[in-house]
Amino acid sequence: MSYHPSDTLVLFILKILDATRSIGAKKSTPLFRCTLKMTNPKLYAFTSAACNYLPKIRLLVQSLKHYHPEIRLVLGLSDRLTFPELLSGESWDEIMPIDTLNIPDWQRWAFTHNIVELSTAIKPFVLQHLLERPDCRGVFYFDPDTVLFSRLDDLMDRLEHSDILLTPHQNKPETELAAVMDNEICSLKHGVYNLGFIGVRPSETGKAFAHWWADRVYHFCRDDIPNGLFTDQRWIDLAPALFKGVVVLRSSRFNVAPWNLTTRTVTGNIATGIQVDGEPLGFYHFTGFDSGAHKIMTEKYCSKNPAIKELVRWYETNTSGWQDDPLSNRPWAFGQFDDGTPINRAHRLIYQSRADLQKRYANPFAAVKDNDQTFSGWCKKQGCREYPDLLPIPAKNADWSSVTGRLTPSLAPPPSILQPMSTRLKKAATNPKQALLLWRQVARAIRHEGLRGLIRRIR
């Protein structure tokens, strides 16, 4: 427990008041009592990334420390903390590695995700931990490639009177067909709200939301737009309908990014302040910078805007040397089998789509062997026969439908949750509608997985 300096001052004043009121009295009786909280409510801000991305997050950390030194900064680490000495010079108040988040069966679960999917999948679990702290006043999440450019007091005030804060990708309709295709249709695919930011208050609703979000991304957090999923983000389209107290922040100064620059007027410069629709720029999202997508979109729509060009140059300059940082060269802990053999997309998707392999190989990271005692050994031997297009290395024009055509949870749930095919066959024998539905599923299974896949399901 800790006392704020103001607590000491209040106690001192109360003692003086009690003393003056008791002068001349035979017995001192305080006129009122004051119960002071031993801990001061804190605002938390966190981001989520693997170790190799940490040098690039320093701009976010520096901006948060500069504009809001009162906020406690937390890093959700989608990696193993195997070299703490490299993090000793960082400015985080706290680091929460994945193995401290109480995620069920977290190692097998981690195997089914790539680095981006896992970094987004742990977000609601970090959120849950922070919301349960007795000193928590509110939690904000910012993407690693976000930078603050002014104080966010208005945003924090909004959280005091709501449960969940969201920022939409767009807050105004597009006026040109090209922008509709690039931005609005893109939002229909990836989600209405950008999860580069979210704010949650530790209310009953806020905690219920975090629990729901964690449950959904535990089972379905992947980049799979054909199946209606985009990491942790698409789920939040449902939040305003499922939870009360959701506020959509429509101010143009929040979460400025290439997908909304077409409808926002950005002026000024970094030295004197950048304005967005007449308001100070709150935070800018430098999304897609490494891939070049950010620069392509800003040049397409903002090539004559000096403020945007300066922002892009500024970020480029301030992140130019991050590749030479020792942290940037650290391999992701979940990017290879135990013997160092790289794990590719096919390994993850095959394991994710096959409940029988999950049951057989409890530790999918186990070192490669020539026999099928490990998952990697199975991939080298049996897997190459079952998935010739995908193993050992996916072919250039590989058909991925055998592992992506059927939507499955990241880890197979207990048998009691999903009815086995044999049970459904019995029901179909007396119910024509069930029979038709089952026939369609059988045909789909044979088409995507072959007869062997159908036999696995019946078992």
Evaluate whether 312 touches 298 at the Cβ level (below 8 Å): yes
What span, in angstroms and rounded, lies between the C-alpha atoms of 387 and 385? 6
Would strands 222-224 and 229-231 be described as parallel, antiparallel, or unpaired? antiparallel
- Domains of the chain: which residue ranges? 1-40, 42-323, 336-416, 419-459
Is the peptide bond prior to 173 cis by the omega test (within 30 degrees of 0)? no
What six digits make up the tokens of 17? Answer: 């008041």
Q: Which CATH class is domain 42-323?
A: alpha beta
Side-chain-side CA neighbours of residue 50 (13 Å): 19
Residue 79's alpha-carbon distances to 90, 271, 332, in angstroms, are 16, 37, 6
Which of 252, 337, 368, 270 is closest to 310 using CA atoms?
270
CA 25 to chain centre: 63
At position 20, the amino acid (one-letter code) is T
CA 428 to chain centre: 41
Q: Say what the pLDDT of residue 85 is.
A: 72
What span, in angstroms and rounded, lies between the C-alpha atoms of 225 and 306? 35
Convert the pLDDT of each residue in 260-296 to its tens digit: 999 999 999 999 999 999 999 999 999 999 899 999 9
Sheet holding 266-269, edge to edge: 266-269, 273-276, 279-280
What span, in angstroms and rounded, lies between the C-alpha atoms of 74 and 101? 13
Evaluate whether 86 touches 77 at the Cβ level (below 8 Å): no
- CA 69, 74, 75, 81 dihedral sign is positive
Side-chain-side CA neighbours of residue 304 (13 Å): 0
Q: Say what the pLDDT of residue 436 is.
A: 74
The ranges of the chain with pLDDT < 70 are 1-39, 414-425, 433-434, 437, 440-441, 443-459
What span, in angstroms and rounded, lies between the C-alpha atoms of 139 and 126? 10
What span, in angstroms and rounded, lies between the C-alpha atoms of 160 and 142? 18
103 burial via Cβ count (<10 Å: 0-12, 13-18, 19+): middle
CA 103 to chain centre: 14
Computed over its alpha carbons, how large is the radius of gyration of the chain? 27
What span, in angstroms and rounded, lies between the C-alpha atoms of 351 and 335? 15
Beta-strand ranges (E) seen in 201-320 are 222-224, 229-231, 246-248, 266-269, 273-276, 279-280, 283-285
What six digits make up the tokens of 47? Answer: 């981001």
What span, in angstroms and rounded, lies between the C-alpha atoms of 438 and 444? 10
Which of 101, 109, 152, 108 is closest to 127 using CA atoms?
101
Q: Kindly write down the DSSP assignment for every residue of 326-346, as one continuous string.
A: GGGGSPPTTSB-TTSPBP-HH
Q: Residue 232: which residues within 8 A CB-CB, separation 6 or more?
A: 120, 121, 123, 124, 195, 213, 217, 221
What span, in angstroms and rounded, lies between the C-alpha atoms of 392 and 387? 9
What span, in angstroms and rounded, lies between the C-alpha atoms of 112 and 410? 6
Q: Say what the pLDDT of residue 12 is.
A: 39
Beta-strand ranges (E) seen in 257-310 are 266-269, 273-276, 279-280, 283-285
For the chain, the straight-line distance linking the first and the last C-alpha, in angstroms and rounded, comes to 57
Q: Say what the pLDDT of residue 439 is.
A: 74
Q: Kindly write down the DSSP assignment for every residue of 18-59, as one continuous string.
A: HHHHTTT-SS---S---PPPSS--EEEEEEEE-GGGHHHHHH
Evaluate whether 257 touches 146 at the Cβ level (below 8 Å): no
Evaluate whether 136 touches 44 at the Cβ level (below 8 Å): yes
Beta-strand ranges (E) seen in 124-235 are 136-142, 146-148, 164-166, 197-200, 222-224, 229-231
